[in-house]
Homo-oligomer: A and B are copies of this chain.
Amino acid sequence: MATPVQFWFEFASTYSYPAAMRAADVAAARGVTLRWRPFLLGPIFGDQGLADSPFNIYPVKGAYMWRDLERICARLGVPFRRPDPFPQNGLLGARVATALSDEARPRFVRALYSAEFARGETISDPAVVRAALEAADCDATAMERAQSQAVKDALRAATDEARALGVFGAPSFTVGDELFWGNDRLDEAMDWALKP
């Protein structure tokens, strides 16, 4: 029996987009349970003294990231459009994802990432989030539940859990205490989960 893989994603994160679009298929093909874990990178970047995306702080690296992401999306066969401004504020999306059931969450997450990185929409706009819920055939009342204290606390607790696991960027995958960072490490995380 494989250990479940925790998939830590943040809506502001560019490489979380291709990871979100392929993670369920990869996990199903490998027979591994995937747990979709929204969290917030802002507080964790804050711990590191980063007040903005590292891709904005280091623009030469940022230029490379956009080209690399374009190539990754082309290979994966998913559309790509750079959102402006970058990074987007993913707080509302993360709260809504937290409010949803484990069954509904992946559909919403893919729909909201598509709005952001396939169509370049502004995901801090409640209308965009609402449209993603609808496109993903999810319960629209998640918009209201997202503002409850219970959901805010759960998202904060998830961010604390990620920090305690050593997560410093997104996407990340954890298998027990073992951390894998980046879309590039999805398959290795699956290998780890399947170790005897």
Which residues of A48-106 have CB atoms within 8 Å of chain B's CB atoms? Answer: 48, 58, 60-61, 63-64, 67-68, 71
Secondary structure of the A side of the interface?
helix
Number of interface residues of A (CB under 8 A): 19
A134 near B: Cβ within 8 Å?
no
A184 near B: Cβ within 8 Å?
yes
Complex CA–CA separation, A63 to B180 (angstroms): 12
Q: Which of B61, B166, B188 touches A60 (beta carbons < 8 Å)?
A: B166
Shortest distance from the beta carbon of A157 to any chain B beta carbon, whole Å: 19
Chain B residues positioned under 8 Å from A169 (CB to CB): 61
Which residues of A25-63 have CB atoms within 8 Å of chain B's CB atoms? Answer: 47-48, 58, 60-61, 63
Chain B residues positioned under 8 Å from A188 (CB to CB): 71
Asked if B179 contacts A61 (CB within 8 A), the reply is no
Residue from the set A58, A67, A169, A188 with the largest chain B CB neighbour count within 10 Å: A58
Chain B residues positioned under 8 Å from A60 (CB to CB): 47-48, 166, 168
Q: Which residue of B lies closest to A58 (CB)?
A: B48
Which residues of A149-196 have CB atoms within 8 Å of chain B's CB atoms? Answer: 166, 168-169, 179-181, 184-185, 188
Complex CA–CA separation, A155 to B58 (angstroms): 24
Known: A64-B166, A184-B184. 7 other contacts (CB 8 A): A48-B58, A48-B61, A58-B168, A60-B168, A63-B166, A67-B179, A68-B180
